[in-house]
């Protein structure tokens, strides 16, 4: 069986999320939730296209279930780096607009997210 890097990272993130919530660290909890969601989204298979996409599903039968994509270590790293990149761009924009406090908050989020790629 292949190594499921996303599951391993999500397990780590969820452990850290519980600790952050217990400690009342809202920023850390928010960032870890966002990273879990980003990994969940990356595991979603692409939508079906073609004639089979129009077929209906018997949802109660479980026929609508699809297997999630298996992410490698590099995929997980790319997802987290993309989240960091979005925050860096937003922080730069906040600085450009003279919103130093909002930029500092984003910088703090970036520091939390970088723990998972360094």
pLDDT of residue 84: 98
How much is the pTM? Answer: 0.84
pLDDT of residue 27: 96
Judge residue 4's burial from the number of C-beta atoms within 10 Å of its C-beta, 0-12 exposed, 13-18 middle, 19 or more buried: middle
Residue scoring higher pLDDT (87 or 66): 87
Model confidence over 32-62: pLDDT tens digits? 999 999 999 999 988 777 766 556 555 566 5
Q: What is the mean pLDDT of residues 58-78?
A: 79
Q: Note the Cα 59 to chain centre separation in Å.
A: 27
Q: What is the mean pLDDT of residues 71-80?
A: 96
DSSP of 85-109, one letter per residue? HHHHHHHHHHHHTT-HHHHHHHHHH
């Amino acid at each position: 069986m292949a190594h499921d890097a996303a599951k391993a990272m999500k397990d780590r993130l969820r452990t850290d999320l519980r600790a952050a919530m217990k400690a009342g660290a809202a920023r850390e909890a928010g960032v870890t939730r966002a990273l879990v969601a980003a990994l969940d989204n990356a595991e979603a298979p692409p939508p079906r296209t073609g004639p089979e996409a129009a077929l209906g599903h018997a949802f109660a039968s479980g026929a609508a279930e699809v297997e999630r994509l298996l992410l490698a270590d590099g995929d997980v790293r790319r997802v987290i780096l993309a989240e960091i990149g979005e925050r860096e761009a937003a922080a730069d924009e906040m600085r450009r607009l003279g919103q130093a406090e909002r930029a500092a908050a984003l910088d703090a989020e970036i520091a939390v997210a970088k723990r998972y790629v360094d």
